[in-house]
């Protein structure tokens, strides 16, 4: 893959952090090292570890510090418990030796029927370098039972329906989400001038606050193909060709 479109969550985070209106929509994020693992677990009772080059939500790990002094680790729907910080450090030494990770505060996303969900916002622009970014499609992803990541899902629904079911907002919130995605695209355009499509994952927490989870440079289009509203899929294909 060209370095231009290389997946790197740490580089992407730093690009967003330099834009004040985006910075406030970012969870606290550090490059994972022993010191940052200790610091983040002191600051937050629950954190998330993500491979910098990760895709499709694979190898994402949630760590929760319990009042008993133990640590609960969840990957997909598998949960293990570390009895103390020394055991946690041994575990970290294993996962961190071959791959670079970021560590983030955990976002407590809004839920639909007790399952977290987030939003996929597709933004694209035409081939002309001066063309503006446009929102060309969107849907909500609901996590499967027992999972904390929405990449493991068998259900997608329209965004407005999801916001209403979760009772966190409506059309006004959706417009704010779309504006956030468009601004994020413009900030990445500075670094990647040939980039023409991004699938943003946007989280809404239980208080209705908007959070940028990440931007995907090669988004999966299959969910759009299966939506009842086929106009989104047709629009996405049009932008890819033009």
- pLDDT value at residue 239: 96
For the stretch 174-223, pLDDT in tens is 999 999 999 999 999 988 889 999 999 999 999 999 999 999 999 999 99
- pTM of this prediction? 0.91
Distance CA 92, CA 99 (A): 11
Rg of the chain taking only CA atoms, in angstroms: 18
Distance CA 8, CA 10 (A): 6
In the chain, where are the structural domains located? 29-105, 109-241
109-241 belongs to which CATH class?
alpha beta
Q: Select from 188, 202, 57 the least CA-distant residue to 120.
A: 202
Residues in the chain: 242
For the stretch 132-185, pLDDT in tens is 999 999 999 998 876 667 765 567 899 999 999 999 999 999 999 999 999 999
Q: How many CB atoms lie within 10 A of CB 5?
A: 11
Question: How is residue 43 written in tokens?
Answer: 């600051």
Cβ atoms of 159 and 147 closer than 8 Å: no
DSSP readout, 88-122? Answer: HHHHHHHHTSSS-EEEEEPP-B-EETTEEEEEEEE
């Amino acid at each position: 893959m060209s370095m231009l479109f290389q997946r790197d969550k740490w580089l992407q985070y730093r690009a967003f952090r330099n834009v004040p209106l985006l910075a406030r929509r970012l969870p606290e994020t550090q490059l994972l090292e022993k010191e940052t693992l200790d610091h983040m677990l002191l600051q937050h009772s629950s954190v998330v570890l993500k491979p910098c080059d990760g895709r499709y939500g694979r190898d994402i790990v949630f760590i929760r510090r319990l009042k008993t002094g133990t640590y609960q680790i969840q990957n997909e729907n598998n949960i293990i418990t570390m009895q103390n910080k020394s055991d946690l450090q041994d575990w970290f030494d294993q996962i961190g030796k071959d791959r670079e990770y970021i560590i983030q505060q955990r976002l407590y996303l809004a839920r639909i029927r007790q399952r977290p969900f987030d939003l996929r916002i597709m933004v694209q622009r035409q081939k002309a370098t001066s063309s503006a970014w446009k929102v060309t499609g969107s849907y909500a992803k609901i996590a499967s039972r027992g999972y904390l990541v929405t990449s493991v899902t068998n259900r997608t629904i329209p965004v407005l329906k999801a916001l209403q079911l979760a009772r966190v907002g409506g059309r006004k919130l959706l417009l704010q989400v779309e504006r956030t995605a468009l601004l994020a695209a413009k900030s990445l355009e500075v670094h990647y001038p040939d980039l023409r499509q991004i699938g943003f994952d946007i989280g809404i927490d239980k208080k209705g606050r908007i959070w940028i989870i990440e931007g995907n440079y090669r988004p999966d289009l299959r969910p759009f193909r299966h939506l009842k509203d086929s106009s989104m899929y047709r629009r996405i294909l049009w932008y890819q060709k033009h």
